Amino acid sequence: MNFRIEKDTMGEVKVPAEKLWGAQTERSRNNFKIGPSASMPLEIVYGFAYLKKAAAFANCDLNVLSKEKRDLIATVCDEILEGKHNDQFPLVIWQTGSGTQSNMNVNEVVANRAHQIAGKVIGEGEKTIQPNDDVNKSQSSNDTFPTGMHIAAYKKVVETTIPGIIQLRNTLHKKSIEFKSVVKIGRTHLMDATPLTLGQEFSGYVSQLDHGLKALEHTLAHLSELALGGTAVGTGLNTPEGYDVLVAKYIADFTELPFVTAENKFEALAAHDAIVETHGALKQIAVSLNKIANDIRMMASGPRSGIGEIIIPANEPGSSIMPGKVNPTQCEAMTMVCAQVIGNDVAISVGGTQGHYELNVFKPMMAANILQSAQLIGDACVSFEEHCASGIEPNHKVITELLNNSLMLVTALNTKIGYYKAAEIANTAHKNGTTLKEEAVNLGYVSAEDYDEWVKPENMVGSLK
C-alpha cells in the first residue's frame, strides 16, 4: 500500500495515499479499534456536510471567508451528500465523547478533496483550503457534532419513522372499520371477559399510535434547535456577529426543514435533552407496537390448538423439522425491534446524564442509538403493515365458538338477578361443563326466554361508532 505524509499539531502521520482523510482521522482510526463494525452513521456525516456548507455560506456573507473557498467547500459537501465519498469516513462510534475526530474527519476530507478540485495533488504544496482555519471556521466540534446529531435525527424521524408509523396506523384504522361488527370475547388478565368487537380492539391500537405520533411530533420543535454558533462552551467565541442565526437559516434552506438556532447554546452543548426527549417518544411507540404485535400474535395462535380468532398471512415456512408449520414472524421481528429500542433508550438516558459542566461527552453513542431506533421503528412498521396487518382477517367460526362458550356472558344478568346469583350460574356451569343457559334455568333464576332476551353478546359491546 502506498502512503503519504499528513501533519497535525502532534506531528507527522502516514495516511493511505488514495484516501482523502488526514492526520487526525488516521490517529483516531489507529487509537480506537473498538467494534470495527460500529461505524459512525453516515447520517451524521451528511449532517456535517449540510452544516459545513451552511457555515461556508454564512462566513462568506459575513466577510470572513472568500467566495472561492466557499464554493470549493460547498462543492465537496454536495459530493458527500450525493454519497460519492462514503468510504472516506472510517471512524467508529467509540471515540471521544465530543465527536471531535469525526468533525475533523469531515474537515480533512473536505479540505483534501477541495485541493484535488483545484487541480492539485494531495500531499503536495500548501493546502488550498485548511481543515481548521477554513472548513471549521466559526465552529468547534462541541457545537458541530450536536448540530449534526439534530440534523440527522430530525431527518430520520420525519423521512423514515413517522411515514412508517402512519402507514401501519392507517391500515389498522381500516381494519378497525372492517371489523366493527365482528363481536368476540374480550380478555383481561388473559382470562375471559365481557364481549367487544374486533374493530373496537383494533381501534385501541390506532389510538395508541395516534398518541405516539403526537408525542413524537411534539419533540421535533426541540430537535429543530441547533447548537452551531456556540463554539467551544456556548459563548460563540470566534464567530462573527449574527453568524448563529444566519448559519441556521442556511441549514434550513439546504435541508428544507425548519431548523433554527438554539435559544440557549449552553444547554445545546452541555445537555442533549432534545435527544432524550425524542427517543423517549420513540420508546413510547415501541411499547405500543410491542403490545399490538403481541396481541396479534396471540389472537392468531394455533391454527388448531391456540386462540385462532384471526388469520394472518403465511409468509414463509416456520420450521426446519415440522412440515406445514407457519409462525407469526412479523410479530416476532416487531417485538425484537421494540426490545432493541427500549434498550437504546436506557443507553440514551445514561448518555443524557453525562453533561459535565459545559459539555456532554456521550454524543456519538447517543446519536448512533437514536438513529438506529428511528430507522428500526420506521422499517418495522412498514414491514409489519405490508406482510401482516394488511392481510389480517377474522376467523368467524372460531370467534363465534369462543364467544358463545364464554362464561363471562353471564355479566349481562347482573342487573337482572344480581352479581351473586350470576356468579353461581357461572361457577356451576364451569364445574359441570354445561352452558350458562342450562344452569341459569336449572337453578331457577331465569327462564329460557328471559335468558335469550337478556344475554345477547351484540348488545354488550356498547357503541359501534
Give the residue numbers of the binding site for substrate: 98-100, 140-142, 188, 320, 325-327
Distance (Å, whole) CA 300 – CA 311: 6
The answer to whether residue 211 is catalytic is no
Contacts by residues 237-244 (CB-CB < 8 Å, ≥ 24 positions apart): 238/138, 239/138, 240/59, 240/62, 240/63, 240/64, 240/138, 241/62, 242/62, 243/58, 243/59, 243/62, 243/138
Catalytic residue among 37, 189, 305, 463: 189
The answer to whether residue 189 is catalytic is yes
* Residue with cell string 447517543: 366
Q: Where are the alpha helices (DSSP H) in 234-387?
A: 243-255, 265-270, 273-299, 329-352, 363-387
Fill in the DSSP letter of residue 48: H
User: Helices then strands (H, E): number in the chain?
Assistant: 17, 10
CB 289 within 8 A of CB 257: no
384 SS3 class: helix
Catalytic residue among 319, 356, 396, 447: 319
Task: Return the H-helix or E-strand segment holding 211.
Answer: helix 198-223
- Please name every residue paired with 4 in a beta bridge, in sequence order, or none if there are none: 15
CB 99 within 8 A of CB 145: yes
Helix axes 141-156, 363-387, angle to 10 degrees: 10
352 SS3 class: helix
CB 3 within 8 A of CB 14: yes
Residue 278, all three cell numbers: 425524542
Let me know if 237 is exposed, middle or buried by CB neighbors in 10 A (0-12, 13-18, 19+): exposed
DSSP output for 231-275: TTTSS-TT--TTHHHHHHHHHHHHHTS--EE-S-HHHHHH--HHH
Phi, psi of 463 (to 5 degrees): -75, 140
Distance (Å, whole) CA 421 – CA 431: 15
Known binding positions: 98-100, 140-142, 188, 320, 325-327
For residue 303, cis peptide bond before it (omega within 30 degrees of 0): yes
The catalytic residues are 189, 319
